[in-house]
Amino acid sequence: MAIDLKQIKKSKKKLKGLKVPLDSDSKTNIIIDLLNKDIKLFGTKLKDKKKERFYSELGILLSSGLDIKSALDIIVDEQTKEADKKLFKEICNYVLEGGNLSEALKESEKFSNYEYFSIKIGEESGRIKNVLEDLAVFYSKKIKQNRQLVNAFSYPILVLITAFAAVFFMMNYMVPMFVDVFSRFGGELPAITRMIVKISDFFANYSGLMFLILVIIVVFLFIIRNKTIYRRIASSILLKTPLLGDIIKKIYLERFCQSMALLTGSKTPMLKSIQLVNKMISFYPFEKALTIIENDILYGKLLNESMQQFPIFDKRLVSLVKVAEEVNQLDLIFEKLDKQYAEELDYKISMISSLLEPILIIFVGLLVGIILIAMYLPMFQLSTSIF
């Protein structure tokens, strides 16, 4: 169907929230347009949970036989937040005026290029329902992984914070009290007690400076977080961290396989698939690898041949991709690998959660126990010398 250019421009203007028509004074219009735009302080993307619900429900409604307009109307009516209702209403209006769903999502600026191209491919290939279902599964898994990681590391982090708070309190308040008592009795203190006293003095003299240095480091890292050198070093450290590094690697491998399964299943060309996945996975080792792989494929190299040069892709993945390319079953292999990595990830996260808890409890117990022994040992020596 031919789309009127004026209608497209009109709908774009409506989506972007422009309320003042253009006139001859272009400078005045630019200022007014900027003032009319909404100011977003906390990002412009839609939350993953809302995306998962949107794709899941839209796929179900379309599969039940409803047309796109009726399905979007239902989604608009059930929104409880005014901002969400406005967003989906604008998407619905764009589609009603002759635009595609993919273009509506792109114009809203709330969705990624990965989602835009996936749905666009689904519309062109007639597999829009399958693509919506795959996107819903993608965000469902992403939300599940995030929750698993939060559940696995929230308790250990809480224990560590409590441990450091307890040590800080003991070093700044309890140890000085014992030192005053020891000074009255005189005599030489045990080596472990002298060490704890020195650490306590260091805390007392430099705790403010340590806190200031910590704040400066955090602010500095926040400022340079998007710099290439920082992302390269930080990702390298994360991947080499015991237990955590393997989990992070499997998270991105699982997302890579799931994205490739969706795109190859939609008959997307390999070069375009790699480009889209590169935009979706924001982890430096994958971004660097996929950029080089994209260039290799452009010059006729096979996917598995290019993947072999990067350690981020394990040998099993490369071997299966090689077989899949030979039999032209990439979508099937990536789908199987996606499930395998998801299962391995669930096991790893549950294992690290159950393993960290007793280790941290033992660590905190030893830390507090050493301080208490160091403080009470001189008293025991004093009592034995008296008797």
DSSP notation for 114-169: HHHHHHHHHHHHT-HHHHHHHHHHHHHHHHHHHHHHHHHHHHHHHHHHHHHHHHHH
Percentages of the chain per state (helix, strand, coil), in multiples of 5 = 80, 0, 20
Same domain, 161 and 264: yes
Same domain, 162 and 75: no
Same domain, 104 and 145: no
Same domain, 286 and 234: yes
What is the average pLDDT across 222-237?
A: 89
DSSP code for 170 = I
- Domain assignment present for 15: no
Which residue among 111, 127, 160 closes a domain?
A: 111
- Domain assignment present for 28: no
Structure confidence at residue 293 (pLDDT): 93
- Alpha-carbon gap, residue 4 to 9, rounded angstroms: 9
Same domain, 98 and 237: no
Same domain, 235 and 347: yes
Structure confidence at residue 24 (pLDDT): 43
Per the structure, the count of domains in the chain is 2
- Domain assignment present for 29: no
Residue of 332, 155, 148 whose CA lies nearest to 250: 148
What is the average pLDDT across 70-99?
A: 88
Better-scored residue on pLDDT, 317 or 41: 317
Better-scored residue on pLDDT, 249 or 160: 249
**Res. 307 pLDDT band, cuts 50 70 90:** very high
Exposed e or buried b per residue across 11-24, where buried means at least 16 C-beta atoms within 10 angstroms of its C-beta: beeebeeeeeeeee
Q: In this structure, what token pair is assigned to residue 121?
A: 């491919």
Q: Give the model confidence (pLDDT) of 142-189 as tens digits.
A: 888 788 778 777 877 888 888 888 888 887 777 787 777 777 766 677
- Domain assignment present for 284: yes
Q: Give the model confidence (pLDDT) of 334-366 as tens digits.
A: 989 988 988 888 888 888 777 877 888 888 888
What is the average pLDDT across 221-228?
A: 88
Structure confidence at residue 383 (pLDDT): 60
Same domain, 288 and 351: yes
Better-scored residue on pLDDT, 26 or 106: 106
Structure confidence at residue 20 (pLDDT): 40
Same domain, 241 and 294: yes
Structure confidence at residue 40 (pLDDT): 35
- Alpha-carbon gap, residue 387 to 385, rounded angstroms: 6
Q: Give the model confidence (pLDDT) of 4-29 as tens digits.
A: 444 444 444 443 443 444 444 444 34
State what percent of residues in the chain have pLDDT above 90. Answer: 11
Which residue among 92, 111, 130 closes a domain?
A: 111
Structure confidence at residue 318 (pLDDT): 92
Same domain, 279 and 334: yes
Same domain, 209 and 354: yes
55 phi, psi to nearest 5 deg: -65, -40
CB-CB contact of 246 with 216 (8 Å):
no
Same domain, 237 and 89: no
- Domain assignment present for 249: yes
Same domain, 290 and 330: yes
Residue of 228, 278, 281, 273 whose CA lies nearest to 251: 281
Q: Is pLDDT of 275 > 70?
A: yes
Structure confidence at residue 186 (pLDDT): 64
Structure confidence at residue 12 (pLDDT): 41
Which residue among 96, 111, 126 closes a domain?
A: 111
How much is the mean pLDDT over the chain?
79
- Domain assignment present for 35: no
pTM beyond 0.85, yes or no? no
Structure confidence at residue 64 (pLDDT): 86
CB-CB contact of 116 with 105 (8 Å):
yes
Range from 12-16, 47-51, 153-157, 223-227 carrying the lowest mean pLDDT:
12-16
What is the average pLDDT across 70-90?
A: 88
- Domain assignment present for 130: no
Better-scored residue on pLDDT, 203 or 74: 74
Range from 221-225, 323-327, 351-355 carrying the lowest mean pLDDT:
351-355
Better-scored residue on pLDDT, 387 or 174: 174
What is the average pLDDT across 112-141?
A: 81
- Domain assignment present for 122: no
Query: What is the CATH number for 196?
Result: 1.20.81.30
Owning domain of residue 310? 139-387
